[in-house]
Structure 1
Amino acid sequence: MAVFDAQAFQDDIGVSRETLDRLAAYETVLRKWQPRINLVGPSTLPDLWRRHFLDSAQLQPLLPDGTRVLVDLGSGAGFPGLVLAILGVPEVHLVESDSRKAAFLREAARVAGASVTVHNKRIETVTGIEADVVTARALAPLADLLGWSFPFLGSRGTGLFLKGQTLDDELTATTKYWKMRTERFESRSDPTGTILRVSGIERGETDHG
């Protein structure tokens, strides 16, 4: 596979030089903190721009028109939420229960000039946010994601979830708990990955959790 660096990212996504510089500043902080905190899988570091930055940025065209408030669950190293904030989503909330990762997120956002709110809390304890979109990557099975997302979204918002090869099984497992509209998009960063867009979320006959 060809090297996918910052220039390749810019060519693919079409960001401005200023935005690319902000993302590169984020990359520098991540590489600095990585030896102390396992922010991303060590094997992905050589392909950081494809595996993490492109993986996150590919969600931007899938955001509904007029998206203003986005909640990123289990933000970890900031993918995809912090990338989407740098790309222009006006109000981004990063939810991360690990204090060290939350500290990293605040520093990365500061260095990248991204205006985000970091919630160093468990997802279920964050309240009072009405979101247009909830995102999550490699966090939990779909039924759990919907349970965590619903208080932010209700039936009017949209979920964008980066999923792997277990998606079909996860969708089957959600049917007794949730009703929703689903759309699938092939991942541009991972040949085995799928982006699932869900909307019209409603509780099913059996409540989950």
Structure 2
Amino acid sequence: MIVSRETESLEKYAELIRKWNPAINLVATSTLRDLKNRHIADCQELARLAASADGKWVDLGSGGGLPGLIVAIFRPELSVGLLESDKRKSSFLRNAARELNLQNVIVYTDRIEKIAPLLANSISARALAPLPLLLSYVDRHLALGGKAWLMKGRNWQSEVQAARADWNFEVISHPSATDPDAAILEISELRHV
């Protein structure tokens, strides 16, 4: 049986999360048993949806690398920046990138609102902040004409409505692969009101 490079990398990545999680809490302990379905599958879906993305990708608040490391695995031609303020999580991200042989990953250890604008063509975030606040982070780091790929839970529709008070944007909602009430939001043409 032939196993793809991506499948091997995902299996190794899951092992790394399980190994490091007790020390630095990369994902909720209760979800470790179902790591592939609970965390990795949606990130794979995001990588598939963003197949036309090019240039520089930045994952805000990367934590354990979801979805940033998954994007880097499936899109080796992209430059993928992982922005994480927690030094322990940044150490995990650097180690994972090295062990997975991901030459396209750069880890930034800094706060989203402090680091100089990263001017990314694409930005991702998962479980980071409510959409109105998250869009201010996206706006700071997104290049002109870029897109954001934001993974949101079951309150995504009310978050979109709340964000419209301060932001103009186009949004396409893609159903989550793992939760029928969640969505991946594809946001473009972001402008402050």
Aligned to 1:99: 87
Counterparts in 2 of 1:37-116, with a 5 A limit? 37-63=24-50, 65-89=52-76, 90-115=78-103, 116=105
Matches of 2:64 and 2:160 in 1, distance apart? 27
Identity of aligned residues (%): 39
Output the aligned Cα RMSD: 1.6
Please say which of residues 109-118 and 71-80 is displaced more in the overlay.
109-118
Matches of 2:172 and 2:126 in 1, distance apart? 16
Deviations 1:120-175 (A, max 9, x none): 10011222422111100011011111100112224411011111121122112112
Aligned to 1:175: 164
2:15 aligned counterpart, secondary structure: helix
Matches of 1:175 and 1:155 in 2, distance apart? 20
2:120 aligned counterpart, secondary structure: coil
Please say which of residues 77-86 and 106-115 is displaced more in the overlay.
106-115
Structure with greater strand share of residues? 2
Deviations 1:44-99 (A, max 9, x none): 11111111111111012221624221110110000000110011151000011111
Aligned to 1:198: 187
Amino acid at match of 2:83: V
Please say which of residues 62-71 and 35-44 is displaced more in the overlay.
62-71
Structure 2, unaligned runs of 5 or more? none
Structure 1, unaligned runs of 5 or more? 1-15, 205-209
In the alignment, is the contact (CA less than 8 A) between 1:154 and 1:201 conserved in 2? no
Deviations 1:92-116 (A, max 9, x none): 0001111111101111111111131
